Structure 1
Amino acid sequence: MTSELILGGQKSGKSRRAEQRAAAWLAASADHRAVFVATAQPWDDEMRARIARHQSDRAERVPGMLTIEEPLLLAAAIAQHSRADTLVVVDCLTLWLTNLLMPAEFTENSPSVQVAPAAVAMFLEAISAAPGPLVLVGNEIGLGVIPMGREVRAFVDALGSLNQQVAQRCQRVTLMAAGLPLTLKDAA
């Protein structure tokens, strides 16, 4: 298995597909390990409940997968956990980019605004340097209407750019819709 980017809309089956990839990886060999890197942050009650539900569902579907929480330092998490025998799942790139560009305490001079390009560059390098398989999950949000508001348009543009750069580095790219996978790229 090599690196795969799984894109789709909300509730399209992206995370389930990533979990299936991890379960298959673990089942293939007793020597295999899987690490789930969660990027969500529990900013409100609804998000806390959503995170708890995802943790419970994931533990049931892929009981052998270790979960770590890393909302910002994805390059370091990949470098720390990626091994030839370890599949790393990152879910999700959209929330990670949100954490970088629009933190809860966002101001025009937020340090996150200045570090985002460097963090993205380090993340892209970590993908290329990873010795083990990666499954990266992100949203495809550029299929709808052009959003109103400068900040939202800038975010849609930034996410589209990130998705393109990640897709270039991954051997496989899958688009999920209604729980069904559509292979966009398979260079494996």
Structure 2
Amino acid sequence: MMTLVIGGAASGKSEFAEALVLKAGNHPRYYIATMQPFDDECRARIRRHREMRAKKQFETVECFVNLAEVTLPKKGVVLLECMSNLAANELYSPDGAGDDTVASIQRGICRLKSQCEELIIVSNEVFSGGSCYEGDTLRYLRVLADVNRMLAKEADAVYEVVCGCPVCHKGKGRTE
């Protein structure tokens, strides 16, 4: 089972995705973290998030690029957060896939799905904040849109979280 959870900044998407993981049963829980620790603020945020997830029995796996190289110790439930970071890392990092970002992420998702019971992916909805972008911002938005469409097509369930309210766009809508 693969679920895509999408939403704007501070929409409640991460909390909803974590709740889906906790409802998935008594399986090992993996959190694939994609945020690179560029500065002290990022490192503090990562440390805080690790502590919060540890209380929920998540094992954190860091993956900034090359998702297809992730190997999980055993099958379980995977929360990948956040696809928006992974797409940017793949697009702009010297170690990333560059122009092959969408295909690289698709290969990684395929491999990850083969290693888990359930995969829950969080991504950002960044497309309604404006209409006039140029240069690399427009390039990034196009890549993320392609990734989100690919994920939605492959997903068994797709949720959009708006103001803390999950709206099911695809699948049976398991929210309780």
User: Normalising by the residue count of structure 2, what TM-score does the alignment of the two structures yield?
Assistant: 0.86
* 3-state DSSP of counterpart to 2:43: helix
Paired residues of 1:127 and 1:169 also in contact (CA < 8 A):
no
Equivalent position to 1:170, from 140, 155, 169: 155
Equivalent position to 1:154, from 131, 134, 139: 139
Distance 2:116 2:96 in 1: 31
Distance 1:165 1:38 in 2: 20
Paired residues of 2:8 and 2:124 also in contact (CA < 8 A):
yes
Residue 92 of structure 2 aligns to which amino acid in structure 1? Answer: M
Deviations 1:70-113 (A, max 9, x none): 11122232xx2286x5111101111001111122x6xxxx8642
Which residue number in structure 1 is paired with residue 17 of structure 2? 18
Which residue number in structure 2 is paired with residue 40 of structure 1? 35
* 3-state DSSP of counterpart to 1:99: helix
* 3-state DSSP of counterpart to 1:155: helix
Paired residues of 1:19 and 1:58 also in contact (CA < 8 A):
no
Q: CA deviation at 1:127?
A: 5.7
Q: CA deviation at 1:131?
A: 5.1
Kindly indicate whether residue 169 of structure 2 is the aligned counterpart of residue 184 of structure 1. Answer: yes
Residue 46 of structure 1 aligns to which amino acid in structure 2? Answer: E
Kindly indicate whether residue 91 of structure 2 is the aligned counterpart of residue 92 of structure 1. Answer: no
Distance 1:126 1:41 in 2: 22
Kindly indicate whether residue 60 of structure 2 is the aligned counterpart of residue 70 of structure 1. Answer: no
User: Normalising by the residue count of structure 1, what TM-score does the alignment of the two structures yield?
Assistant: 0.81
Residue 40 of structure 1 aligns to which amino acid in structure 2? Answer: M
Kindly indicate whether residue 109 of structure 2 is the aligned counterpart of residue 133 of structure 1. Answer: no
Residue 87 of structure 1 aligns to which amino acid in structure 2? Answer: V
Unaligned runs of 5+ in 1: none
Superposition misfits of 4+ residues, deviation over 4 angstroms: 127-131
Paired residues of 1:172 and 1:186 also in contact (CA < 8 A):
yes
Distance 1:49 1:160 in 2: 29
Distance 1:169 1:187 in 2: 15
Unaligned runs of 5+ in 2: none
Paired residues of 1:82 and 1:88 also in contact (CA < 8 A):
no
Kindly tell me the number of residue pairs found equivalent between the two proteins: 173
Paired residues of 2:66 and 2:90 also in contact (CA < 8 A):
no
Q: CA deviation at 1:174?
A: 0.5
Q: Percent identity at matched positions?
A: 27
Inter-CA distance 82–152: structure 2 relative to 1 (3 Å threshold): farther
Paired residues of 2:5 and 2:160 also in contact (CA < 8 A):
yes
Residue 184 of structure 1 aligns to which amino acid in structure 2? Answer: H
